[in-house]
Amino acid sequence: MAVFGLLAASMGVVGLVSSDTLLTAMGFEPISVADRAEGDHTLVFLIASSMAALNMGVYYILAALADWKAFFRWTVPFRLLTCAVFTLAVVSDRAPAGFLGVGLWEGLGALATLAALRYENRVVPATPDGAR
């Protein structure tokens, strides 16, 4: 969780500081502001998405520091949903192939989280009152 949070927060900062760097990292060719069509809100969307990534990264880091298992469990279905949405967007030609990496990242993250939760459930025995 902490590693994912750190990566998400870092990518959010990159997007806020240097949109072109983030676009390049995602496999897109940056376009200069002068070459953008009127009404092209790509950079505004990128700023909003980067801020969301920064926020989510911090949430994940704080949840990891607090060892907040409920939060970890909640992330699994929502990250699988994100995986499905991004993958379907690429498959249906509604998004460029670069978004497939986002879907895979989310899907693999969800599966890794699920595996870790199951492993900890087997390793850490519950106390009589149900606490761990």
Residue-level pLDDT, tens digit, the chain, 132 residues: 899 999 999 999 999 999 999 888 877 888 888 888 888 888 899 999 999 999 999 999 999 999 999 999 999 999 999 999 999 999 999 988 888 988 999 999 999 999 999 998 888 666 666 565
CA distance 95 to 26: 12
Measured CA to CA in angstroms, residue 91 lies from 9, 11, 27, 77, 83 at distances of 28, 25, 17, 21, 12
pLDDT at 15: 93
Q: Is the pTM of this model over 0.75?
A: yes
pLDDT at 102: 87
Contacts (Cβ under 8 Å, ≥6 apart) of 11: 22, 25, 50, 53, 57
pLDDT at 126: 63
**Exposure class string for 67-104: b at 16+ Cβ within 10 A, else e:** eeeeebeebbeebbebbeebbebbeeeebeeebbebbe
CA distance 55 to 83: 19
Residue 42 in contact with residue 36, Cβ under 8 Å? yes
pLDDT at 128: 64
pLDDT at 99: 84
